[in-house]
Structure 1
Amino acid sequence: MSEPIIEPIERYGLSKRNRKRTLFSRIGVVGCGIEGSVIATTAALNGMEVVFLEPNEEKIVNAYSRIEEKLDKRIANWGLTQSEKKAIMARVKGTTMYDDFQGCDFVIEAIRYDNQTGERQVAQRKKVFQNLEQVLDTDAIIASNVSTVVVTELAAELSYQERCIGVHFMINTPGSQILEIVNGLHTSQETFNKVSQFARLINHEYVAVMESSGLVSVRLFLTQLNEACQILMEGIATVEDIDKVLMVGFGHNLGVFRTADNMGIEKIVKLLNNLYDEYGNIKYKPSPILLRMFRAKDYGVSTGRGFYTYDEKGNLVK
């Protein structure tokens, strides 16, 4: 009887050591709050391994809960099974160490806004970019989820500025599947092409946007919100009816006031002030209604009261 033929497993492409990873099979997210958890969930849903960074274990636990909550909503709407949820969660890893981003093709900075000021400090975000450059391969992409901050400024002190880029996920609009991609002054065409591919992999459309404060989406939304507040102040229609016109008449998912509550009034006031400082146009000056809500700390979903009232889970109270 002849001896059995023994062949190395590597020949069949089963060895992890010799298997070539595909682009974006592993990505990172710095900050897994409201924005970061949406990005992490979206990537994991589309088969990517995700490493997210938080400053402490408590925030890591909260981030896992936030991601699970998003998946549970899909299960409730028959868009996901429990076994699929388990597989998705297995692809997500929380960490407190930048070293765990080693091997990532793409890392997105999405640190939290300050609850009191509605700001994300530029200096803090620049430090994130510097920390990432120390641990990532030179061809890995470093991105920021930006809307008003200029990515060229964030990348100014890096050695490989050509791999830095801005992306903007419209996380406050349910079902939104469009990504604004923002080239910095030194961003290479290769980097843009790769991020365009990432958008397609997560089933998003994308638009190329010039580096500018507010991009397209934020400028359009905030001017619409200011005008809606003016209509409200004039007594022409109620909050509910203004949103109804936008939802039924224009196909908006939530309407301008519900979207504002989701974003947070404190963030909106800060964004408007930034745009007003940048462009000097009166249309970006925050409405008196928004300023009054900001001073009263009626920020929206996060505080339970904004243009609408919400329960502890963020559900609308009717």
Structure 2
Amino acid sequence: MQRISVIGSGTMGNGIAHTFAQHGFEVALVDINAAALASARATIASNLDRQIKKETLTETDKQLILNRITTYTDLAAGVRNADLVVEAATENEQVKRSLFEQLDKQCAAHTILASNTSSISITKIAAATQRPEKVIGMHFMNPVPVMKLVEVVKGHSTSTDTTAEITALAIQLDKIPVEVNDYPGFVANRILMPMINEAVYSVYEGVADVEAIDNVMKLGMAHPMGPLQLADFIGLDVCLAILRVLYEGFGNPKYAPCPLLVNMVTAGKLGRKSGQGFYTY
């Protein structure tokens, strides 16, 4: 693989593009919004500057990395020569299925189609294509350039060759790939989101305040940040969407989102990205 297309230039998309470019790949970063693409390039440049300050990169390295990233607002042009497409669009099943249907028609026959989805079924996404054996989950963690884990999610029809190729690719990116099967929430969010939901319930039921709950988990369980601070970092809307996938996928009331979380998202309090969540930013 030499040519990578990344669909979506938000937090995850620009981090994925940054990581591939830093490891020598030619990257096409695709978004329908030109302003979002400009913002993504600025974010990548800023993050590279941090690496320069830490003396892990030079100014020359930074320019080489940025030169490997080309932006597109036209999907067909952005994926035309791709060996791999990594989709990092909105965490919405219908959006992803529609996008993969388009990608299937516009990409070369050899192209592997990967989704960075944090919870949506790879099997359902693959069913929108005529190449389900070449559809796979490649779930990076945020911030992508820093976090080592990549969940490699095998859909029902994902081939052994595709899984092996993506696993090897993750290692090329200096990541640690972990293969998981395609069930709601995979592993990371199946375990993480109920913990976050329980923390929200603890606020909702008046067990303790936000800071106390986070301090218990940081100081008692050695978590680098508390579950409510982490929820703000992820985005409360994203947490809610994942919990709904878990609840609908398993039909188990233990995954039902806390009413407080639902109300906060409805009120537009989404965490860091909106300036207000469990904390004020």
Same fold (TM over 0.5): yes
C-alpha contact (below 8 Å) 1:293/1:299 kept by paired residues: yes
Q: Which amino acid in 2 is paired with 1:218?
A: N
2:177 aligned with 1:199: no
**Aligned pair in 2 of structure 1 residues 85, 247: CA closer, same or farther (>3 Å)?**
farther
2:88 corresponds to which of 110, 121, 144:
110
2:97 & 2:243 partners in 1: Cα distance?
Answer: 22
How do residues 126-275 of structure 1 correspond to structure 2 at under 5 angstroms? 126-171=97-142, 175-275=146-246
Aligned pair count reads 280
C-alpha contact (below 8 Å) 2:19/2:145 kept by paired residues: no
Give the secondary structure class of the aligned counterpart of 1:302. Answer: helix
The residue that corresponds to 1:277 in the other structure is 248
2:68 & 2:220 partners in 1: Cα distance?
Answer: 41
Cα distance per residue 1:253-307 (max 9 Å; x no partner): 3221121111111221222122212222222111233123223211111110111
**Aligned pair in 2 of structure 1 residues 195, 59: CA closer, same or farther (>3 Å)?**
same
Q: Which amino acid in 1 is paired with 2:65?
A: I
The residue that corresponds to 1:100 in the other structure is 78
The residue that corresponds to 1:72 in the other structure is 49
The residue that corresponds to 1:81 in the other structure is 58
Q: How many Å apart are 1:172 and its aligned residue?
A: 5.7
The residue that corresponds to 1:61 in the other structure is 38
Q: How many Å apart are 1:67 and its aligned residue?
A: 1.7
C-alpha contact (below 8 Å) 1:52/1:93 kept by paired residues: yes
Instruction: Structure 2: state its 5+ residue gaps.
Output: none
C-alpha contact (below 8 Å) 2:138/2:152 kept by paired residues: yes
**Aligned pair in 2 of structure 1 residues 216, 104: CA closer, same or farther (>3 Å)?**
same
Q: How many Å apart are 1:159 and its aligned residue?
A: 2.6
Cα distance per residue 1:200-238 (max 9 Å; x no partner): 011111111111111111111111112222333454443
C-alpha contact (below 8 Å) 1:231/1:237 kept by paired residues: yes
**Aligned pair in 2 of structure 1 residues 193, 61: CA closer, same or farther (>3 Å)?**
same
Structure 1 runs (4+) greater than 6 angstroms displaced: none
**Aligned pair in 2 of structure 1 residues 238, 160: CA closer, same or farther (>3 Å)?**
same
C-alpha contact (below 8 Å) 1:299/1:306 kept by paired residues: yes
Identity %: 34
The residue that corresponds to 1:16 in the other structure is none
Q: How many Å apart are 1:83 and its aligned residue?
A: 2.2
1:233 & 1:216 partners in 2: Cα distance?
Answer: 26
The residue that corresponds to 1:10 in the other structure is none
The residue that corresponds to 1:4 in the other structure is none
2:92 aligned with 1:120: yes
More helix by share: 2
Q: How many Å apart are 1:183 and its aligned residue?
A: 1.3
Cα distance per residue 1:134-162 (max 9 Å; x no partner): 33332221111122222222222423221
2:154 & 2:176 partners in 1: Cα distance?
Answer: 17
Q: How many Å apart are 1:243 and its aligned residue?
A: 2.2
2:156 & 2:93 partners in 1: Cα distance?
Answer: 21
1:273 & 1:172 partners in 2: Cα distance?
Answer: 24
C-alpha contact (below 8 Å) 1:101/1:135 kept by paired residues: yes
User: TM-score, normalization: structure 2?
Assistant: 0.91
2:266 corresponds to which of 266, 289, 295:
295
The residue that corresponds to 2:15 in the other structure is 38
**Aligned pair in 2 of structure 1 residues 256, 76: CA closer, same or farther (>3 Å)?**
farther
User: TM-score, normalization: structure 1?
Assistant: 0.81
C-alpha contact (below 8 Å) 2:246/2:255 kept by paired residues: yes
